[in-house]
Amino acid sequence: MCRTLAAFPTTCLERAKEFKTRLGIFLHKSELGSDTGSVGKFEWNSKHNKESRNFSEDVLGWRESFDSLLSSRNGVAAFHAFLKTEFSEENLEFWLACEEFKKLRSATKLASRAHKIFDEFIRSEAPKEVNIDHETRELTRTNVQAATSTCFDVAQGKTRTLMEKDSYPRFLKSSAYRDLAAQASATLASPSSCGPEPLHT
């Protein structure tokens, strides 16, 4: 995930694609501005079950805090899909890459991966350049020269704060998420009703 999301077999990118395909949310930027959105394209279970209730609880949990969203696989997938409609997915992809980077234990792999992350997200004119200040960019450049598992911490923290204060509120206010949350609430309020079919990854 440090190189690109597509480099991993079960990635957030794949989950975002599945989320969009199966639930029909955030497929097109124009849908986010419409009242109807595309939540009507939900697949519904033939009967209410525990799994759909768990999925509904998960959906509603995304609005509790940004941490709750990031700790949910479906939440990250939905947020990533939303960011793609705004052409601003690079901050989340960088954050996810850093999370995977921290799990590396080999010094050789740390060094190699650090340079790849820097080239993809941090350097000026990088393919997926994240929005950080010059001081943080230069600090990260220095840190990468002697890579440790914490060399991206400052940059990662700043991109996380930016997402939490900027993109996350827009995600929660999007008509697609609001409709999804409304249906999830209805599912939990009516035990006999049908609920949105949860994702299977």
Residue pLDDT, tens place only, 133-161: 999 999 999 999 999 999 999 999 999 99
Residue 11 lies in a domain: no
Mean of the per-residue pLDDT values for the chain?
A: 79
Q: Is the pLDDT of residue 170 over 50?
A: yes
| 13 domain-assigned | no
Q: Which residues contact 42 (CB under 8 A, 6 or more apart)?
A: 23, 24, 183, 196, 197
Cα 148 to the center of its chain, rounded Å:
25
Q: Is residue 94 scored above 90 in pLDDT?
A: yes
Whether residue 178 has pLDDT greater than 70: yes
Please compute the mean of the pLDDT values over residues 100-108 and round it to a whole number: 95
Could you tell me if residue 199 is inside a domain?
A: no
**Does residue 159 lie in a domain region?**
yes
What CATH number is attached to the domain comprising 126? 1.10.167.10
Q: Measured in Å, how far apart are the chain's first and last C-alpha atoms?
A: 17
Indicate whether 70 belongs to any domain: yes
Residue 136 in any domain: the answer is yes
* Residues composing the chain: 201
- Structural domain boundaries enclosing 68: 40-189
153: part of which helix (H) or strand (E)? Answer: helix 153-162
Which uninterrupted H or E stretch holds 29? helix 29-32
H helix or E strand, kind and range, residue 159? helix 153-162
| Residue 62 belongs to a domain | yes
How would you class 16 by CB atoms within 10 Å of its CB: exposed for 0-12, middle for 13-18, buried for 19 or more?
buried
Number of domains within the chain? 1
Name the nearest CA neighbour of 2 among 166, 119, 124. Answer: 119
Q: Does the residue 17 lie in any domain?
A: no
Residue 37 confidence (pLDDT) above 80: no
User: What are 189's two structure tokens?
Assistant: 């309020």
Give yes or no for a contact between 25 and 38, defined as CB atoms under 8 angstroms apart: yes
